[in-house]
Structure 1
């Protein structure tokens, strides 16, 4: 048993001894009381937008035998999971509860790999109960070498009398849940050929809450204690609400089990000695964690196991599950007392609850049935666990746990680092969904049915997929963006980074959360959260960023500026690699009559020859070797508003300077909308003020960008930008250079050239009336 569990049980023993020896308490502890609305807070609408693109479609399948009275079993295809074969082939696999295991290659067309239903006919059953059939498949981490994979299916009929469960069965057993090991003769083949053997058989009295999932820990490596161990999520068979089965450590139902499926002699499997109850009399050594009703989907984030757990009365929950954990069912439902005699209420926890050592949810939502709904009827909610995104394609989603509701298809997110015991319930967010064309959609619309039967999948690169049994289709999450309401729709798909200074990074107000596609937070350098001030640059704005010089007479690096910088490049800004164009735009208000005093020279009257506004740094830029900057610099002895850029790292730059005096473009104390566009293919640069083009000219003759003779189209270098700088140079904060005594808001950075019409429309969208 783990040390922390031992301490809990030891504490319980001490408390019990003390209770027997101590004098009677002066007053009884408060008894639990009924709760009308267990979780009053609702999932929070999020500015996060997820793009779902259809990925695959599956042929119609039929339950075996046809369902007698449950229309929920009549789906297009009862696809239950998507995963990737761990053999380097990049093939995906999908199981259908009605019996087929499919493989998907690059053409995304499902090819039948194995017919599980036919292999176990006539005992195989998928037409009785929502969880019956071919429930799951898990491939051994060395499948490419040993050809082994495992499946779960349900049996009835003759199997109930001719085959014996390996662990204690529930009374009145009606179904068997069976785990089978298959060994492919050729792991590379597109159709299975090989052998099979039975690994584990469990008996359930009900046709719900059977074996819901099996899986190997992805982060385990050869030599790790967890490597090659099979986790098994076994439900309570529907008996938990009327029995103590989930709390009974002598039986497997209502538990997560963990076994080593590698055969040892004449045994089907072995019990890992590291299991929390291994070798303990009266307790099954196979048990890893217990106290569960319907442990529907689990996944790992590193070494953490996150579980989606379907509730009985009201609570749909996510748990951070460790060895020996007791989730409390059916003494508890979520963080509430469950009373078997009262199906209409949950109850508050007793004052002495800590002594029981229950593990409570790290996130949860309740059913919120409509007015007049019977408290004993199904309200149509059931959580489906998902995955923490750790892929590379959607950096804005990194560290986000994506999950949902099976029935109505709602998709939820939570911050993975907040899903930890001891932190209370994490906030649940509801992102916005759009289709490939950017149109808002819901999962019922995509599934073509009010009952979605939502599931999640993940490929080997960590990319995420949504599945629906209703129409047998799969969608891939292809984009994640925080699209602020004040951004023109046509710009959103190319908005690499956006900062409105209304979104401090959770837990770190000295950083600003990106509202664009890349998810690149910036640091408010030196001033921190104090740089975020109340000021309205445009309609809907409440805060702006202030940048300024702090000590004009002292050389140093204490000036207020913002940005992100990495010597090796910022991977999340990779969208700016090898592009044909860039746009920088935003709202600016100068609070000065000219450049700041130069603190780097001995002359106290000397001033810098530039004022830094905003821009993207190229792959080798230290702050001046530019890719695309909007600034004020001295041109021929006169300060000008300019667009300044270079195309290829290490080559020359070009400057486009506005003709008008800078004081007319940026009057002191007045908000102005500026934009700069950089077309690296044609060599064209443009400046705009309040949506209208500014006349100007180029300051360098010839071909500084090296467009002549270069392969078409002419692109920037394929190197990660070192960052974004705002309000001065050197976001790496090594020195003060060209500070801007000003305020900024609504900064947008695009990886293409915005059209004049789009820039005008963006200004008109927000300009004060």
Structure 2
């Protein structure tokens, strides 16, 4: 690995998509087609083919249902998606989004959809089956992650309900196991419950026999986890396989990285990071709280965006590094596990010098506001960022990490995608990053306009609409 004199890990990027409106996630269907599915916060999912082109017609367009606004930093919208582990056979996938019901009540909905039998690049918009709906007491802290664990269960990461300091009830939502807010939930989507729920409760969920807890709860005490990922494990030893890493956005002082443990209490609102937040609750609470593997203060960044453990083939030196970032500061970071000391050590990532990234197609700059990370079907790592964090602003791009220090031998990482029939027109990829305007011009413009963002969260903000924390101050509507 290349490091600069300060120990900063130098990586390069390639741009793989642009012109996106707050791209909140990128997924693959694990079906050997190596397509990638990219969701915008407004409620549209696009299909990108292995040659880099995008299909003109979206995979799914539910923007008429999804509650999203042009407000800078608004946290509502299309927030999560996961393909069923047996998607190739059953064509099912799951989504997580904000919407407003007929009584004008803001809610979160988790739904199942199917892909059309006649076109693998199109979801059937009429196939929606609602699994779970939750009323949101405030517009921020909506969580949004969906993922399937190695156990085949669907994990849902729900925010604490919003506002600041989890003010709901005596101990807050996150510590109250009789509400689903501020929790990691675990359900079995392959069936229905005897009581009529459109999913089963896994019998080994940790609180199924606790009369004071909801049986869906798998872990609790979380504030607003923004982006979680399952570790594929070391390619040779499979060590680490199945661990679920999450970034949990902090309140006033700390951002944290957690590994999800069955039945674990992650401390909020008693704790923030390693420190007490609610002093009284903290001193009276259990000493068995699950501590973060890493936390950082607000001099480093103010809104964590959780990432992935790199397990790809093309950049072997990165194997085992947990790579993540901060939405507000735009910093990229990595954690390296030290098994002997049972600690994770942080290393800053610097997107390399022009010299290190001088190869054709490599770039050394990116849009500041880091919204999400992603992994393609081959295990290579990406992140999504925008220069202007509004759900309707088409300034989002997707970047792929490249380690200039060591590449895999030629031919080692080749894969043969299964061909996919396409009925929609293909739009070829046109890179923007190589153009001298782009990133630098937008950054300069924002600076000139004295835009001041104090938000806590992608893609969101204000005291009334804050994902992750405090406020977004914009002097004008642009």
- Decide: shared fold, TM above 0.5: yes
Q: Secondary structure at the match of 2:206?
A: coil
Q: For 2:32 and 2:94, locate their aligned partners in 1 and report how far apart those are by CA, in whole Å.
A: 19
Query: Relative to 1, partners in 2 of residues 1:204 and 1:233: Cα closer, same or farther, differing over 3 Å?
Result: same
Match of 1:230 in 2: 154
Q: For 2:116 and 2:217, locate their aligned partners in 1 and report how far apart those are by CA, in whole Å.
A: 32
Pairing of 1:281-680 with structure 2 (within 5 A): 281-301=211-231, 302-339=241-278, 355-368=286-299, 381-416=302-337, 423-424=342-343, 426-434=344-352, 438-439=356-357, 445-447=365-367, 451-470=368-387, 471-481=395-405, 517=406, 574=409
Query: Does residue 147 of structure 2 align to residue 215 of structure 1?
Result: yes
Report the alpha carbon displacement of residue 306 of structure 1 after superposing the two structures with TM.
1.2
Match of 2:136 in 1: 204
Q: For 1:480 and 1:142, locate their aligned partners in 2 and report how far apart those are by CA, in whole Å.
A: 36
Q: For 1:575 and 1:109, locate their aligned partners in 2 and report how far apart those are by CA, in whole Å.
A: 24
Query: Relative to 1, partners in 2 of residues 1:93 and 1:328: Cα closer, same or farther, differing over 3 Å?
Result: same
Match of 1:115 in 2: 61
Tell whether the 8 Å contact from 1:143 to 1:187 is kept in structure 2 after alignment: no
Match of 1:249 in 2: 177
Tell whether the 8 Å contact from 1:242 to 1:340 is kept in structure 2 after alignment: no
Tell whether the 8 Å contact from 1:407 to 1:454 is kept in structure 2 after alignment: no
Structure 1 residue ranges without an equivalent (≥5): 1-43, 60-76, 161-173, 221-225, 342-346, 370-379, 482-516, 519-571, 578-769
Q: For 1:262 and 1:417, locate their aligned partners in 2 and report how far apart those are by CA, in whole Å.
A: 38
Q: For 2:118 and 2:107, locate their aligned partners in 1 and report how far apart those are by CA, in whole Å.
A: 29
Q: For 2:334 and 2:402, locate their aligned partners in 1 and report how far apart those are by CA, in whole Å.
A: 16
Q: For 1:435 and 1:84, locate their aligned partners in 2 and report how far apart those are by CA, in whole Å.
A: 31
Q: For 2:411 and 2:44, locate their aligned partners in 1 and report how far apart those are by CA, in whole Å.
A: 44
Report the alpha carbon displacement of residue 391 of structure 1 after superposing the two structures with TM.
1.1
Tell whether the 8 Å contact from 2:97 to 2:144 is kept in structure 1 after alignment: no
Report the alpha carbon displacement of residue 242 of structure 1 after superposing the two structures with TM.
2.1
Match of 2:37 in 1: 93
Superimposed CA distance per residue, residues 219-264 of structure 1 (whole angstroms, 9 cap, x where no aligned partner): x2xxxxx22x110010012154323211000001111111112232
Tell whether the 8 Å contact from 2:68 to 2:74 is kept in structure 1 after alignment: no
Higher helix share: 1
Tell whether the 8 Å contact from 2:259 to 2:293 is kept in structure 1 after alignment: yes
Match of 1:130 in 2: 74
Tell whether the 8 Å contact from 1:444 to 1:452 is kept in structure 2 after alignment: no
Match of 2:415 in 1: none
Tell whether the 8 Å contact from 2:84 to 2:93 is kept in structure 1 after alignment: yes
Q: Secondary structure at the match of 2:345?
A: coil
Q: For 1:178 and 1:211, locate their aligned partners in 2 and report how far apart those are by CA, in whole Å.
A: 12
Q: For 2:185 and 2:212, locate their aligned partners in 1 and report how far apart those are by CA, in whole Å.
A: 16
Tell whether the 8 Å contact from 1:156 to 1:176 is kept in structure 2 after alignment: yes
Query: Does residue 197 of structure 2 align to residue 267 of structure 1?
Result: yes
Query: Does residue 98 of structure 2 align to residue 154 of structure 1?
Result: yes
Q: For 1:187 and 1:336, locate their aligned partners in 2 and report how far apart those are by CA, in whole Å.
A: 54
Superimposed CA distance per residue, residues 469-505 of structure 1 (whole angstroms, 9 cap, x where no aligned partner): 3321111112252xxxxxxxxxxxxxxxxxxxxxxxx
Match of 1:178 in 2: 109
Tell whether the 8 Å contact from 2:23 to 2:371 is kept in structure 1 after alignment: no
Q: For 1:108 and 1:186, locate their aligned partners in 2 and report how far apart those are by CA, in whole Å.
A: 24
Q: Secondary structure at the match of 1:144?
A: helix
Tell whether the 8 Å contact from 2:111 to 2:128 is kept in structure 1 after alignment: yes
Q: Secondary structure at the match of 1:245?
A: coil
Q: For 2:177 and 2:291, locate their aligned partners in 1 and report how far apart those are by CA, in whole Å.
A: 19
Relative contact order, CA 8 A, sep 6+: which one is greater? Answer: 2
Superimposed CA distance per residue, residues 613-669 of structure 1 (whole angstroms, 9 cap, x where no aligned partner): xxxxxxxxxxxxxxxxxxxxxxxxxxxxxxxxxxxxxxxxxxxxxxxxxxxxxxxxx
Report the alpha carbon displacement of residue 109 of structure 1 after superposing the two structures with TM.
2.9
Match of 1:105 in 2: 49
Q: For 1:458 and 1:187, locate their aligned partners in 2 and report how far apart those are by CA, in whole Å.
A: 27
Query: Relative to 1, partners in 2 of residues 1:576 and 1:97: Cα closer, same or farther, differing over 3 Å?
Result: closer
Query: Relative to 1, partners in 2 of residues 1:416 and 1:427: Cα closer, same or farther, differing over 3 Å?
Result: closer
Q: Higher Cα Rg: structure 1 or 2?
A: 1
Superimposed CA distance per residue, residues 37-93 of structure 1 (whole angstroms, 9 cap, x where no aligned partner): xxxxxxx9435221101111235xxxxxxxxxxxxxxxxx11011111122211100
Query: Relative to 1, partners in 2 of residues 1:361 and 1:153: Cα closer, same or farther, differing over 3 Å?
Result: same
Tell whether the 8 Å contact from 2:258 to 2:294 is kept in structure 1 after alignment: yes
Superimposed CA distance per residue, residues 1-50 of structure 1 (whole angstroms, 9 cap, x where no aligned partner): xxxxxxxxxxxxxxxxxxxxxxxxxxxxxxxxxxxxxxxxxxx9435221
Query: Relative to 1, partners in 2 of residues 1:340 and 1:206: Cα closer, same or farther, differing over 3 Å?
Result: farther
Match of 1:140 in 2: 84
Report the alpha carbon displacement of residue 445 of structure 1 after superposing the two structures with TM.
4.5
Report the alpha carbon displacement of residue 407 of structure 1 after superposing the two structures with TM.
1.4
Report the alpha carbon displacement of residue 427 of structure 1 after superposing the two structures with TM.
2.0
Query: Relative to 1, partners in 2 of residues 1:417 and 1:233: Cα closer, same or farther, differing over 3 Å?
Result: farther
Q: For 1:279 and 1:250, locate their aligned partners in 2 and report how far apart those are by CA, in whole Å.
A: 13
Tell whether the 8 Å contact from 2:310 to 2:379 is kept in structure 1 after alignment: yes
Match of 1:276 in 2: 206
Structure 2 residue ranges without an equivalent (≥5): 232-240, 388-394, 413-478
Query: Relative to 1, partners in 2 of residues 1:97 and 1:436: Cα closer, same or farther, differing over 3 Å?
Result: farther
Q: Secondary structure at the match of 2:212?
A: coil
Tell whether the 8 Å contact from 2:158 to 2:225 is kept in structure 1 after alignment: yes
Q: Secondary structure at the match of 2:141?
A: coil
Report the alpha carbon displacement of residue 205 of structure 1 after superposing the two structures with TM.
0.8
Tell whether the 8 Å contact from 2:166 to 2:174 is kept in structure 1 after alignment: no
Q: Secondary structure at the match of 1:46?
A: coil
Report the alpha carbon displacement of residue 143 of structure 1 after superposing the two structures with TM.
1.1
How many pairs were matched up?
379
Superimposed CA distance per residue, residues 270-291 of structure 1 (whole angstroms, 9 cap, x where no aligned partner): 1111111113212011011110
Tell whether the 8 Å contact from 1:231 to 1:259 is kept in structure 2 after alignment: yes
Q: For 2:279 and 2:146, locate their aligned partners in 1 and report how far apart those are by CA, in whole Å.
A: 30
Q: Secondary structure at the match of 1:214?
A: strand
Tell whether the 8 Å contact from 2:116 to 2:122 is kept in structure 1 after alignment: no
Report the alpha carbon displacement of residue 463 of structure 1 after superposing the two structures with TM.
0.3
Q: For 2:355 and 2:30, locate their aligned partners in 1 and report how far apart those are by CA, in whole Å.
A: 33
Query: Relative to 1, partners in 2 of residues 1:211 and 1:452: Cα closer, same or farther, differing over 3 Å?
Result: closer
